[in-house]
Amino acid sequence: MSPPRKRKIRLVTALSCAVVLASALVYTSFTAASPAVTPSQLLAQAQPGRTYQLTGKVVANSIRRAADTLDFSVIDRTGRGVSVPVRYTGAVPDAFREGREVIVSVHRQGAGFVGENGSLITKCPSKFAPAKTGSKPY
């Protein structure tokens, strides 16, 4: 086989491998992804057995600690609409508290939702809040 021909075959092989791998990647990303939802969307569309990424604010006075679990409710970022009860196991991030924005992966269980261990993320309020002149960012 002549060298240019050999090179062409190599190139085509490499390119087809890349295309196959890339399509697998794209396909799995769409099937494995969990939709990002707000509490009201979650209540409207949640199917059992599916994981959702819930974003919202922790409702004031909703945090209850039982023996090994933590119960709290999440409401839309605007503070209006319905709230969703979430049961979570495990340690929560330092910045977790009432009124704070959280992201947590949940799935339906009975009437409520169960958060996946280690999936709770708290958005840091002060680190990078846009400071308005003359007011405190908190």
Partner 1 sequence: MGASVGRAALILALGVCLYGIGAALYGARSGRREWVDSGRRAVYALALILTVCFAVLEIAFLRSDFSFDTVAGHSSTTTPTFYKAAAVWSSQEGSLLLWVWLLSLWSSAAIFLTRHALRDVVPYATAVLLGFGAFFTGLLAFLATPFATTHPVPLEGVGLNPLLRHPSMMIHPPMLYSGYTLFTIPFAFAVGALVVRRVDAEWIRAIRRFALAAWFFLGIGVLLGARWSYAELGWGGYWAWDPVENASLMPWLIGTAFIHSIMIQEKRGMLKIWNASLVLATGTLAILGTFLVRSGILQSIHAFGASTLGVPFVVLIALLVAGSIYLVVTRRDALRTEHHLDSLLSREAIFVLNNLVLVGLCFVIFWGTFFPLISEAVTGAKSSVGPPWFDRYTVPLALVLVLLSGIGPVIAWRRATPANARRNFRVPTLAAMLALGLLLATTTAAREPVALAMFCCAAFVLGSVGQEFYRGIAARRAMSGESLLVAAGSLVRRNRRRYGGYTVHLGMAVLFVGVAASSAFQDARDVRLAPGQSATVGGYRYTYVRPTASVVNDPKRTGSLLDLGAEVLVTRGGHQAVTLYPSRGYYPAPDTSQGPVGSLIGGEATSHVGLKAGLRRDVWSAIEPDIASLQPLIDRGNKVVPATRPDLAFVVLAAIADHYRAAPPPAQFRLIVSPLVTWIWLGGLLVFGGGLIAMWPAPGRRVRARYLARVGRELKEAPTPV
In the three-class reduction of DSSP (H, G, I as helix; E, B as strand; rest coil), residue 129 is classed as coil
7 is a contact residue toward partner 1 (CB under 8 A):
yes
Q: Judged by CB under 8 A, does residue 40 bind partner 1?
A: no
Minimum separation from the CB atom of position 21 to partner 1 (A): 7
State the Cα–Cα distance between residues 34 and 44, nearest whole angstrom. Answer: 16
Q: Does 121 bind partner 1 (CB under 8 A)?
A: yes
Binding span for partner 1 by CB under 8 A among 72-80, 106-114, 115-123 = 115-123
Question: How far apart are CB 108 and partner 1 at their closest, in Å?
Answer: 17
Q: Is 1 in the site for partner 1 (CB under 8 A)?
A: no
Specify the 3-state DSSP secondary structure of 69. Answer: strand
- Amino acid found at 52: Y
Q: Please give the single-letter amino acid code of residue 39.
A: P
* Paired tokens of 49: 């057995």
96 binds partner 1 (CB under 8 A): yes
Residue 75: strand pairing partners? 57, 83
> For residue 8, how many other CB atoms are within 10 A of its CB?
12
Sites of contact with partner 1 (CB under 8 A): 3, 7, 14, 18, 21-22, 25-26, 28-30, 32-36, 53, 55, 65, 67-68, 89-96, 103, 105, 117-131, 133-134, 136-138
